[in-house]
RNA sequence: GUCCCCAUCGUCUAGCCCGGCCUAGGACACCUCCCUUUCACGGAGGAGACAGGGGUUCGAAUCCCCUUGGGGACGCCA
């Protein structure tokens, strides 16, 4: 059987981290079956039936977020709103079959029912007032909603691939609204009709939908359709242990991009948050497709931990292609230092990237660390660097300069040998020689190897920077 | 409040389904040391958990029950 999954966000904001993980799992599950089963499809459906809260900007943000994460979907995205007529037809059919009815309750009556239910400790809110009432008693001038006639007795069972068998007494569930008074379909109806029509075989979504799944199961039954297989994955919690949601500080994936995270790192982190494959931590996307299955999804909620994401990101940066990293850094530096970059910036960054990338855990950090390569002379210096360039440092640099200049081949090994010889002659350790040089060349006390830096900068620029330092610039 | 779900180091987790191989493994973070021109990287160690209580059993992190704690859902939102 071909596996068909979907990601169905509502466009009321960016793609947040929880949604991203849900999308990832759906995508991975489909890809896995594409490779090993009878095929797999992953669809995107925009749940935009709430016209007041849905925006095109949010839809675009969701597309952009998924694209950045590398989660491609099959076919064109489906707009739930555009399928309203189909949803309505399903409700009309249930009405005609006597499986749904018109309810004329006013909002005030419903509020009263809700309060009464809560006071009496009942979960079931709507009391079924219009369930068997004669439609001729309908009040004039009131547009009714259509409610489903849900079973009053027995129980509804879901065999969830993650949660196991979950059962609820039907007495707990009231008659859900299918069509609103204005004739528009509700989410509950739309989801069921869409999932059925799209041929969704596996509904993989957040745990917060588990109770909806009971109602939806009843709806599938009423419509005479087979239910899809459900897999309710645990939610991601914030550091405080509560559901991570948009109105609770969850950031959009683009915020992680802006903070300097790589999409492959986020994928790896999100994958591992709630799913495991033994002790494996670093898992490539290809390997994830190979291994992913719902049976290894954990049942308990997980807290989002940026520190671990950061560590993973450091790993992927070290693995990343130098040209790609150079582009990412250039983009940031150009924005941060308009007109101040040396014309050799790109070239130097690329040459120095190997030394740079193993010292950074995010692209932001990498860019920070790379500034000295990109900026035109003179290089700004930190306070600590300034201290390295005091009287002693300056004297050392003055003596070292001609030694370096005398080095025939301007390469890191030769330069290091020259510096070593210089140090030994003066009874200095290499570190004592390197620090002032580092301060002069980078304006900092922390950097990649100073000899590698000299190599990248070249003779002229290196000596120029030494001269700047000696001139007190 | 009612219903549903969950419960292993600070965090993510392996182990649990099919009890013994678990003096509970890995990763992140933390501490120490090594490497070393700084910082990282890398390497070697360390500290750190089966929520509590009952059962079942020769034996329980693993099975059952209760308690406690946490979470989610209870809309003419999605």
Q: What is the tens place of the pLDDT at every residue in A185-240?
A: 999 999 999 999 999 999 999 999 999 999 999 999 999 999 999 999 999 998 77
Nearest nucleotide, CA A180 to C1': B76
pLDDT of A434 higher than 70: yes
Q: Which residue is nearest to nucleotide B7 (CA to C1')?
A: A300
User: So what's the pLDDT on residue A248?
Assistant: 58
User: So what's the pLDDT on residue A37?
Assistant: 84
Q: Which residue is nearest to nucleotide B25 (CA to C1')?
A: A279
Catalytic residue (choose from A99, A246, A299, A308): A246
Nearest nucleotide, CA A419 to C1': B37
Closest CA to A253 of A15, A430, A456: A15
Q: Which residue is nearest to nucleotide B3 (CA to C1')?
A: A123
Q: Quick one: average pLDDT of A149-158?
A: 92
Closest CA to A22 of A43, A7, A44: A7
Per the annotation, the verdict on A343 as an active-site residue is no
Enter the ipTM: 0.94
Q: Which residue is nearest to nucleotide B5 (CA to C1')?
A: A163
User: So what's the pLDDT on residue A118?
Assistant: 80
With 0-12 CB in 10 A as exposed, 13-18 as middle and 19+ as buried, what is A69? buried
User: So what's the pLDDT on residue A145?
Assistant: 93
**In which residue are the tokens 């809260």 written?**
A53
Chain B positions with any atom < 7 A from a protein CB? 1-8, 10-15, 25-29, 36-42, 70-78
pLDDT of A74 higher than 60: yes
Give the pLDDT band (50/70/90) at residue A71: very high
Give the pLDDT band (50/70/90) at residue A246: low
Average pLDDT, chain A: 92
User: So what's the pLDDT on residue A448?
Assistant: 97
**In Å, what is the separation between the CA of A232 and the C1' of B72?**
11
**In Å, what is the separation between the CA of A238 and the C1' of B28?**
17
Tell me phi and psi for residue A165, to 5 degrees. Answer: -80, 125
Q: Quick count: other Cβ atoms within 10 Å of Cβ A56?
A: 9
**In Å, what is the separation between the CA of A58 and the C1' of B26?**
39
User: So what's the pLDDT on residue A107?
Assistant: 82
pLDDT in tens, A266-309: 999 999 999 999 999 999 999 999 999 999 999 999 999 999 99
- Alpha-carbon span A146 to A91, nearest angstrom: 7
**In Å, what is the separation between the CA of A233 and the C1' of B6?**
12
User: Half-sphere exposure (CA, 13 Å, Cβ side) for A29?
Assistant: 31
Nearest nucleotide, CA A189 to C1': B78
Nearest nucleotide, CA A206 to C1': B72
**In Å, what is the separation between the CA of A290 and the C1' of B71?**
31
């Amino acid at each position: 059987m071909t596996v068909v999954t979907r990601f169905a966000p509502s466009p009321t904001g960016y793609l947040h981290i929880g949604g991203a993980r849900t999308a990832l799992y759906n995508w991975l599950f489909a890809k896995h079956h594409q490779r090993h089963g009878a095929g797999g499809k992953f669809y995107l459906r925009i749940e935009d039936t709430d016209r007041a809260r849905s925006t095109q900007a949010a839809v675009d943000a969701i597309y952009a977020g998924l694209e950045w994460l590398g989660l491609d979907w099959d076919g064109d995205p489906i707009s739930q709103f555009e399928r309203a007529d189909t949803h309505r037809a399903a409700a009309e059919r249930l009405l005609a079959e006597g499986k749904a009815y018109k309810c004329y309750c006013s909002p005030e009556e419903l509020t009263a029912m809700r309060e009464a239910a809560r006071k009496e400790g009942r979960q079931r809110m709507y009391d079924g007032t219009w369930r068997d009432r004669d439609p001729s008693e309908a009040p004039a001038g009131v547009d009714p909603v259509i409610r489903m006639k849900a079973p009053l007795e027995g129980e509804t069972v879901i065999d969830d691939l993650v949660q196991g068998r979950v059962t609820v007494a039907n007495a707990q569930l009231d008659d859900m609204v299918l069509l609103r008074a204005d004739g528009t379909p509700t989410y509950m109806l739309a989801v069921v009709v869409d999932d059925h029509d799209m041929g969704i075989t596996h509904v993989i979504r957040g745990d917060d939908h588990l109770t909806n799944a009971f109602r939806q199961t009843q709806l599938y039954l009423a419509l005479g359709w087979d239910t899809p297989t459900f897999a309710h994955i645990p939610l991601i919690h914030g550091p405080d242990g509560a559901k991570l949601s948009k109105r609770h500080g969850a950031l959009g994936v683009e915020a992680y991009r802006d903070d300097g995270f790589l999409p492959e790192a986020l994928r790896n982190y999100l994958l591992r948050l709630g799913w495991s494959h033994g002790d494996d931590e670093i898992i490539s996307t290809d390997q994830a497709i190979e291994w992913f299955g719902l049976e290894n999804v954990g049942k308990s909620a997980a807290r989002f931990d940026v520190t671990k994401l950061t560590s993973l990101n450091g790993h992927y940066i070290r693995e990343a292609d130098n040209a790609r990293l150079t582009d990412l850094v250039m983009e940031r530096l150009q924005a941060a230092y308009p007109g101040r970059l040396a014309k050799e910036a790109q070239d130097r960054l690329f040459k120095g990237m190997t030394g740079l990338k193993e010292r950074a855990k995010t692209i932001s950090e990498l860019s920070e660390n790379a500034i000295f390569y990109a900026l035109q002379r003179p290089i700004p210096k930190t306070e600590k660097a300034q201290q390295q360039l005091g009287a002693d440092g300056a004297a050392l640099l003055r003596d070292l300069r001609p030694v370096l200049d005398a080095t025939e081949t301007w390469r890191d090994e030769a330069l290091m040998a020259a510096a070593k010889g210089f140090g030994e002659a003066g009874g200095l350790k290499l570190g004592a020689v390197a620090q002032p040089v580092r301060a002069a060349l980078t304006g900092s006390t922390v950097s990649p190897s100073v000899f590698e830096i000299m190599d990248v900068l070249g003779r002229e620029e290196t000596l120029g920077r030494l001269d700047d330092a000696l001139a007190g610039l």
